[in-house]
Amino acid sequence: MPRQSMLVFIKKLNRPIFTTYELSSISGKSSSCVTQALNFLERQGLIFKIYHGIWAQTQDFRLSPYSAISFLFPHQRVYVSFLSALHLYGIIEQIPQIITLASTGHTKKIQTKIATFSLHRIAPSFFDGFNWYKGEGSFLIAEPEKALVDCLYLSAYKKKQFGYFPELHFPKSFSFRKAKNWVKKIKNSKIATYVEKKLEETLRMDK
């Protein structure tokens, strides 16, 4: 198979990110054959490898680190939360160096060529309050109130970086009542008390 013809299959997928497995399936070629073709295209500067078996088109304007999430965690439900979500909502201006994700799985960090992703475990009973970004995006994100409470929730587990915020800019649509309702859903009473106290401190800072 001519290496350049692999571009035809890449274009068929019509998205900035794709996997070796996908191209092997639609081309009918072995994974090793597809990988050789992709390595050639990478040397040409047309694509680059994000992570093991995950690739991206170099000049695709749709490409963003967030669009890689579903490929990095194909068998695990995760959502963007904590500082990353607060930044996307404009509540904090400082761009987090690491994309923070909530999961019911083990805490871990994945470094890729597009970004570093940090997965943080929260209790399954508290894994809620998220939806698709802007209603139709390619990744799940916590609603603003839940993202704030998620931060305070993690800080209760001695993760100090999630309990300190740069200047906060809450939009008029932000509901502290809604945030307080999320605190009530924390089943661990000790953690809930801590988060409630931190939330009240944050509320006073906003006044």
Q: Which of 16, 20, 17 is nearest to 6 (CA)?
A: 20
| DSSP-based three-state secondary structure for 119 | strand
Q: What are phi and psi of 17, to 5 degrees?
A: -115, 145
DSSP-derived secondary structure for 78-102: -EE-HHHHHHHTTS--SPPSSEEEE
* pTM of structure: 0.91
Q: What are phi and psi of 65, to 5 degrees?
A: -55, -35
Question: How much is the pLDDT for 181?
Answer: 97
Looking at residue 6, the DSSP 8-state letter turns out to be: H
**pLDDT tens, position by position, for the chain (207 residues)?**
455 589 999 999 999 999 999 999 999 999 999 999 999 999 999 999 999 999 999 989 999 999 999 999 998 999 999 999 999 999 999 888 999 999 999 999 999 999 999 999 999 999 999 999 988 778 999 999 999 999 999 999 878 778 878 788 999 999 999 999 999 999 999 999 999 999 998 877 665
Q: Which residues sit opposite 19 in a β-bridge? A: 54
Domain boundaries, the chain: 3-63, 66-206
> CA 56, CA 123: separation in Å to the nearest integer?
33
Question: How much is the pLDDT for 2?
Answer: 52
Type of residue at 111: Q
Structure tokens belonging to residue 125: 């009973």
Class of domain 3-63: mainly alpha
Structure tokens belonging to residue 95: 């761009």
Dmax over Cα atoms in the chain, in whole Å?
65
Looking at residue 118, the DSSP 8-state letter turns out to be: E
Buried b (16+ CB within 10 A) or exposed e, 79-109: bbbbbbbbbbbebbeeebeebbbbbeeeeee
Question: How much is the pLDDT for 38?
Answer: 95
Question: How much is the pLDDT for 4?
Answer: 57
> CA 71, CA 160: separation in Å to the nearest integer?
30
Question: How much is the pLDDT for 162?
Answer: 84
> CA 176, CA 155: separation in Å to the nearest integer?
19
Q: Which residues sit opposite 103 in a β-bridge? A: 121
